[in-house]
């Protein structure tokens, strides 16, 4: 604008000079032509500047008009980290069915009005003022599952032939609705949700309404109560839904892990890159288990400590979606103890169940699991896992080793053994072929068990359709050998040997 005005002044001066030569001045025809050419050039430049100015004014008017209806970027929030953040703008993510109920990040928000704002993973702002805030988000996916590549039968430890119930179907596997925010004090937060697993219609925990309350005393201490994931292993630290595959774990991870229960928990950051989580809960898995089924001992304890020495963070979940330009590393350790009995176990097909099984898939509390005609009524569960990983420029290599002891069994008769020990590992590699768009991955796991050695290998790809994390297409092929785990919410089947193919369209905002 200033350039156009300056040029206009120059042109006027030129015109005045051209039209009023000084007294006695005689201009040659050549000089007159030169001045005319310069004047025409200046006029053309002036028209160009005026057109640019008009275009800019139109652009600003469009921006103003769109600003009346388009969401405004959400105000910044001061982070009080408690786990390697869903990232962010995305909160520490939350599980469901195969991953359990979700976890909300412990953030201290500002109190500006923000109706209609949006943050990926945190969802849409419904209300905020000096008294609190309400956010809404959703997770769901549609799955095509084909188990026709599995063998039709398998033989269990007792020698009986079991026929597999194989599936070839499409389901909207899960719908989760989240409401989260704070009330009165920005450090006092609530996180509530409802979810349903449509493959488990009519079963226990098919529909869940739950959540938790937390208070952030300091970045080193966030205290909470309600439903939360036992930090038995890395995938239970709040990485959901940022798994390499959609809403399911590897065979070994599913076999060893604890699940989601009610209790009290604490988590926080002890130093740069050093975080912890600890929970005292009712049992290993309370989804689908009523209070009357619990053993009456508030003695389940689970803890995790992880260190990220090189960058102080490890991105969101599994894989390097973030394209780390510096090498990110992580080392973690977990320990869990829980006295368990048959009554406090979820049903075999309950979503996100954590049945205690032997390595051949037999539930340890079933009659004859260890000795003919003998049932184990109670047993103590000890489990530890160690994990490590690195991420760099879209490549990720992540592994975890599990060790589980089942000790001090109380049985209806004599047992040939007094304790049980199983161990195993999982290894996951992934690479972003196109940053933020296309990823390929491989997952493998192996279980060294006293009653069999199952294993699994799988591979697939993820395509983020909008070049953002809200919408993902996932296709995966897996081969199982005598899977010791399985229920309707996940692709694996107990006893299954052979191929499984599934494709998923996942939405999360």
Q: What is the CATH number of the domain that holds 435?
A: 2.40.160.10
Co-location of 82 and 55 in the same domain: no
CA distances, 146 to each of 162, 185, 451, 505 (Å): 19, 49, 28, 15
140-174 b/e with 16+ CB inside 10 Å = b?
A: bbebebbbebbeeebeeeeeeeeebebbeeebebb
Co-location of 55 and 113 in the same domain: no
Co-location of 338 and 394 in the same domain: yes
Specify whether the CB–CB gap between 198 and 174 falls below 8 A.
Answer: yes
- Answer whether residue 261 is part of any domain: yes
- Answer whether residue 358 is part of any domain: yes
Contacts 24+ apart (CB under 8 A), 177-180: 177/136, 177/138, 178/94, 178/102, 178/104, 178/123, 178/135, 178/136, 178/137, 178/138, 178/139, 179/134, 179/135, 179/136, 180/91, 180/104, 180/122, 180/123, 180/134, 180/135, 180/137
CA–CA gap between residue 224 and residue 247 (Å, rounded): 25
The pLDDT value recorded for residue 20 is 44
Residue 5 per-residue DSSP state: H
- Answer whether residue 119 is part of any domain: yes
- Answer whether residue 22 is part of any domain: no
The pLDDT value recorded for residue 14 is 45
Co-location of 84 and 33 in the same domain: no
Q: 166: which residues sit within 8 A by CB, 6+ positions away? A: 147, 148, 150, 152, 493
Q: How would you write the pLDDT of the chain (509 residues) with one tens digit per residue?
A: 444 454 444 444 444 444 444 444 556 666 776 776 777 777 667 767 767 766 667 666 665 555 443 333 333 333 333 333 333 333 333 333 333 444 545 544 444 556 778 988 789 999 988 899 999 999 999 999 999 999 999 988 778 888 999 999 999 999 999 999 999 999 999 999 998 888 777 666 678 888 999 999 999 999 999 999 999 999 999 899 999 999 999 999 999 999 989 999 999 999 999 999 999 999 998 877 777 777 778 899 999 999 999 999 999 999 999 999 999 999 999 999 999 987 655 555 555 556 799 999 999 988 888 999 999 999 999 999 999 999 999 999 999 999 999 999 999 999 999 899 999 999 999 999 999 999 999 999 999 998 999 999 999 999 999 999 999 999 999 999 999 999 888 999 999 999 999 999 999 99
The domain in which residue 298 lies consists of: 78-508
- Answer whether residue 72 is part of any domain: no
Structure tokens at 100: 């359990």
CA–CA gap between residue 350 and residue 203 (Å, rounded): 6
Co-location of 42 and 103 in the same domain: no
Co-location of 196 and 56 in the same domain: no
CA–CA gap between residue 127 and residue 114 (Å, rounded): 7
- 126 CB-contact burial (10 Å; exposed 0-12 / middle 13-18 / buried 19+): middle
Specify whether the CB–CB gap between 14 and 42 falls below 8 A.
Answer: yes
Co-location of 261 and 347 in the same domain: yes
Instruction: Give the residue among 94, 352, 88 at the shortest CA–CA distance from 211.
Output: 94
**How is 199-249 classified by DSSP, letter by letter?**
GGTTSTTSEEEEEEEEEEEETTEEEEEEEEE--SSGGGSS-TT--SSSS--
CA distances, 264 to each of 83, 101, 236, 280 (Å): 17, 15, 16, 6
CA–CA gap between residue 279 and residue 85 (Å, rounded): 19
Specify whether the CB–CB gap between 415 and 438 falls below 8 A.
Answer: no
Co-location of 59 and 165 in the same domain: no
CA–CA gap between residue 150 and residue 496 (Å, rounded): 6
* 3-class DSSP assignment, residue 468: coil
Co-location of 216 and 322 in the same domain: yes
The pLDDT value recorded for residue 344 is 55
CA–CA gap between residue 409 and residue 299 (Å, rounded): 17
The pLDDT value recorded for residue 119 is 86
Residue count (the chain): 509
- Answer whether residue 471 is part of any domain: yes
- Answer whether residue 41 is part of any domain: yes
Specify whether the CB–CB gap between 336 and 195 falls below 8 A.
Answer: no
Co-location of 57 and 167 in the same domain: no
Structure tokens at 97: 């069915």
Co-location of 141 and 106 in the same domain: yes
Co-location of 355 and 430 in the same domain: yes
- Answer whether residue 24 is part of any domain: no
CA–CA gap between residue 29 and residue 34 (Å, rounded): 9
The pLDDT value recorded for residue 7 is 45
* 3-class DSSP assignment, residue 91: coil
> How many domains is the chain built from?
2
């Amino acid at each position: 604008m200033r350039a156009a005005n300056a040029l206009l002044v120059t042109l006027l001066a030129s015109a005045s000079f051209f039209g009023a030569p000084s007294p006695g001045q005689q201009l040659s025809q050549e000089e007159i032509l030169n001045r005319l050419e310069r004047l025409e050039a200046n006029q053309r430049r002036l028209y160009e500047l005026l057109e640019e100015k008009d275009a800019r004014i139109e652009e600003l008017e469009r921006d103003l008009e769109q600003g009346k209806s388009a969401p405004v970027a959400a105000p910044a929030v001061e982070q009080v980290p408690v786990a390697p953040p869903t990232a962010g703008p995305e909160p520490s993510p939350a599980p469901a069915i195969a991953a359990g109920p979700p976890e909300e990040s412990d953030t201290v928000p500002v109190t500006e009005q923000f109706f209609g704002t949006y943050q990926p993973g945190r969802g849409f702002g419904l209300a905020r003022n000096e008294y609190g805030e309400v956010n809404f988000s959703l997770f769901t996916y549609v799955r095509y599952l084909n188990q026709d590549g599995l063998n039709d039968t398998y033989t269990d430890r007792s020698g009986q032939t079991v026929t597999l119930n194989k599936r070839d179907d499409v389901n909207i596997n899960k719908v989760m609705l989240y409401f989260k925010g704070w009330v009165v004090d920005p450090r006092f937060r609530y996180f509530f949700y409802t979810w349903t697993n449509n493959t488990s219609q009519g079963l226990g925990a098919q529909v869940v309404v739950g959540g938790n309350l937390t208070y952030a005393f300091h970045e080193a201490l966030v205290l909470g109560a309600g439903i939360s994931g036992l930090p038995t292993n890395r995938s239970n630290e709040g990485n959901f839904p940022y798994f390499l595959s959609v809403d399911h774990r590897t065979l070994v991870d599913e076999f060893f892990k604890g699940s989601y229960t009610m209790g009290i928990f604490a988590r926080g950051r002890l130093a740069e890159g050093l975080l912890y989580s600890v929970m005292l809960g009712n049992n290993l898995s309370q989804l689908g288990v009523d209070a009357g089924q619990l053993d009456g001992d508030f003695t389940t304890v689970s803890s995790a400590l992880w260190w990220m020495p090189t960058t102080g963070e490890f991105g969101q979940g599994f894989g390097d979606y973030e394209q780390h330009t510096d090498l990110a590393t992580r080392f973690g350790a977990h320990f869990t103890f829980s006295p368990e009995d048959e009554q406090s176990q979820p049903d075999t097909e309950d979503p996100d169940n954590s049945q205690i099984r032997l390595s051949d898939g037999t539930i340890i509390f079933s009659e004859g699991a260890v000795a003919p005609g003998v049932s184990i009524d109670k047993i103590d569960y000890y489990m530890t896992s160690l994990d490590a990983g690195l991420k760099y420029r879209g490549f990720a290599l992540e592994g975890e080793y599990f060790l589980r002891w089942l000790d001090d069994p109380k049985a209806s008769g004599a047992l040939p053994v007094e304790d049980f020990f199983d161990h195993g590992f999982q290894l996951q590699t992934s690479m972003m072929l196109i940053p933020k768009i296309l990823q390929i991955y491989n997952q493998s796991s192996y279980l060294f068990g006293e009653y069999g050695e199952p294993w699994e290998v799988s591979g697939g790809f993820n395509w983020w359709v909008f070049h953002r994390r809200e919408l993902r297409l996932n296709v995966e092929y897996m081969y199982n050998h005598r899977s010791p785990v399985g229920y309707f919410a996940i692709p694996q089947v107990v006893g299954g040997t052979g191929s499984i193919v599934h494709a998923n369209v996942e939405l999360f905002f």
